[in-house]
Amino acid sequence: MSALAKKTILLVEDNADHVLLIRRAFRKAGVDCNLQVAGHGDEAVHYLEGTHGYDDRRSFPLPHLVLLDLKLPRRSGFDVLAWIRRSPEHEHLPVVVLTTSDQPDDILRARQLHANSYIVKPVDAEKARSMASSVGQFWLNHHRSQ
């Protein structure tokens, strides 16, 4: 599959170690995707808007899925999710919250903001690979998006 034919995932994550773990997990799970990374909430919005250096859609294609951390600098994951759901262009974009928080209030708030799913970040490589495989199978292969 060519780079342009691959489905794109936008990973919104500020922790470089978590980015590395998730990249490896998708690779080891055999999920053939274009994983783009935004390091903070404002960057995620810029990516989705196609502004601030993200205007080239060949290099920065619109994602088929957003994996969204909640604890982000500049704009929280909750604020990014609310922005996505208010945006006519992106309101139906699948968003999976991928965060370290297992707090009931965070889970409830993500549901209220219409997150499609909520996953507590795996802490080891095998659990991360399993998560990546499940996400790839459901959200990229079976779920019809955009």
Hey, what amino acid is at 26?
F
| pLDDT score of 5 | 65
Give the model confidence (pLDDT) of 102-138 as tens digits.
Answer: 999 999 999 999 999 999 999 889 999 999 999 988 8
pLDDT of residue 133: 93
- 95-100: which pairs have CB atoms within 8 A and are 24 or more residues apart? 95/65, 95/66, 95/68, 96/65, 96/66, 96/67, 96/68, 96/135, 96/139, 97/68, 97/69, 97/70, 98/11, 98/13, 98/22, 98/67, 98/68, 98/69, 99/68, 99/69, 99/70, 99/71, 100/71
pLDDT value of position 4: 46
Angle of helix 125-135 relative to helix 16-28, nearest 10 degrees, comes to 60
pLDDT at position 123 is: 85
pLDDT of residue 145: 44
Residues of the chain falling short of pLDDT 50: 1-4, 145-146
Q: Spell out the domains of the chain, with CATH numbers in brackets.
A: 7-140 (3.40.50.2300)
Q: What is the pLDDT of residue 1?
A: 41
Structural contact between residues 141 and 65, judged by C-beta atoms closer than 8 angstroms? no
